[in-house]
Amino acid sequence: MTLIDLPHPLEAYFAHAEIASSRQGRRFTINLPYFEGDKVDRLQWWWQVSAAHERIVGEEGVATLRRQAIERFCLHIDRWLTNSNNRLFDGKPFPRLESVVTQTLPLIADEDRVVDLGTLCAGHTGRVVNS
């Protein structure tokens, strides 16, 4: 099962904003709104460009940094979904978050012991539950 099953690319759901600039530079945020049940929540990614760096790279460099921030945010979302055992789906108007139901493999009896098939299938040596 794929963790992101949306009708549009994930980036199409992002909202971008620039926070008030300061002498230190410019700050930006990327937001991904999503539904969790009936509640709207969001993931947020912050990034910034120092004034000195912006003078060196110009607006084209800032656009490149924005693309890199989007790539990092997408990677973060993928890891978050994997680690939390969730998935994003639907996407109308925002993605929906739901838990991924993992399939539990049955235990089999082998004479006087029970072996966990999930452990065996994962390439491990097997775990004896009852000996």
Whole-number Å distance between alpha carbons of 25 and 61: 14
Q: How is the chain split into domains, by residue range?
A: 4-99, 102-131
Whole-number Å distance between alpha carbons of 87 and 78: 9
Residue 33's nearest CA partner among 47, 19, 49, 17 is 17
Whole-number Å distance between alpha carbons of 65 and 7: 27
pLDDT digits (tens, 9 = 90+) for 37-96: 999 999 999 999 999 999 999 999 999 999 999 999 999 999 999 999 999 999 899 999
Residues in the chain: 131
pTM for the model: 0.74
pLDDT bracket for residue 22 (50, 70, 90): confident
